[in-house]
């Protein structure tokens, strides 16, 4: 199920356009369903389970002939590898640190892929959500980071997370866009010149 509707997409685009009319900042909003396929996770857990089976059988009360050990291991490996590919279970098996790292990496990749590092005044800013990893991040380019205090986006992210938890993703994104815009208006107000043009698309990016 998509986090946002067509109506939400239109609202988010309108919010980006409205804020960009007041600042030279360039906003891109990206929602990712999942940061990584984590193909190694089912194999890893299935292998660990299969390797642990002989010991478990040995210390159990089950009277297995040793010749059955290898076929049991193979069967357990295959069945568990298939089972662990089920997305809800697979995501529960992934350590939080790995999910966080993968989501961060995708956010950084999207910052570059959306050309936010190529704006005229280095005032690109990315609002990023990775749904499966429950990860929210704001990445600002060098021009913004040189003037806006470190930690400025923490409260914006906290408010956005609160909205996401209550199912109001679009409201949270719009609020985050507007709050970021207020921060940028002080340092990067809109200029009435040809150079201050809309450099990047305003549509929500969904991957």
Q: Are 141 and 41 in contact (CB under 8 A)?
A: no
The residue length of the chain stands at: 207
Strand, helix or coil for residue 191: coil
DSSP assignment of 111-177, as one string? HHHTTGGGSTTS-EEEEEEETTTTEEEEEE-HHHHTTSPTTTTHHHHHHHHHHHHTT-HHHHHHHHH
CA distances from 37 to 41, 102, 187 (A): 9, 10, 40
Q: Which CATH architecture has domain 6-36+95-206?
A: Roll (3.10)
Q: Are strands 205-206 and 135-140 parallel, antiparallel or unpaired?
A: unpaired
Q: Are 143 and 121 in contact (CB under 8 A)?
A: yes
pLDDT tens for 49-66 read 888 877 666 666 555 555
pLDDT tens for 121-148 read 899 999 999 999 999 999 999 999 999 9
Q: Enter the pTM of the model.
A: 0.83
Domain spans of the chain, in order of start: 6-36+95-206, 40-93
């Amino acid at each position: 199920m998509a986090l946002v509707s067509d109506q939400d997409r239109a609202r988010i685009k309108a919010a980006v356009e409205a804020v960009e009319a007041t600042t030279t900042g360039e906003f891109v909003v990206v929602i990712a369903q999942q940061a990584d396929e984590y193909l190694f996770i089912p194999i890893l857990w299935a292998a660990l389970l299969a390797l642990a089976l002989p010991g478990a059988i040995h210390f159990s009360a089950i009277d297995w002939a040793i010749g059955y050990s290898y076929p049991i291991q193979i069967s357990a490996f295959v069945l568990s590898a298939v089972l662990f590919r089920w997305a809800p279970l697979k995501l529960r098996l992934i350590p939080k640190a790995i999910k966080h790292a993968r989501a961060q990496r995708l956010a950084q990749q999207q910052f570059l892929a959306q050309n936010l590092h190529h704006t005229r005044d280095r005032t690109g800013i990315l609002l990023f959500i990775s749904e499966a990893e429950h990860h929210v991040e704001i990445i600002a380019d060098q021009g913004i980071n040189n003037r806006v205090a470190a930690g400025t986006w923490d409260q914006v992210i906290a408010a956005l997370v609160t909205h996401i938890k209550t199912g109001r993703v679009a409201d949270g994104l719009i609020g985050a866009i507007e709050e970021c815009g207020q921060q940028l208006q002080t340092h990067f107000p809109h200029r009435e010149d040809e150079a201050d043009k809309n450099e990047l698309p305003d549509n929500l990016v969904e991957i």
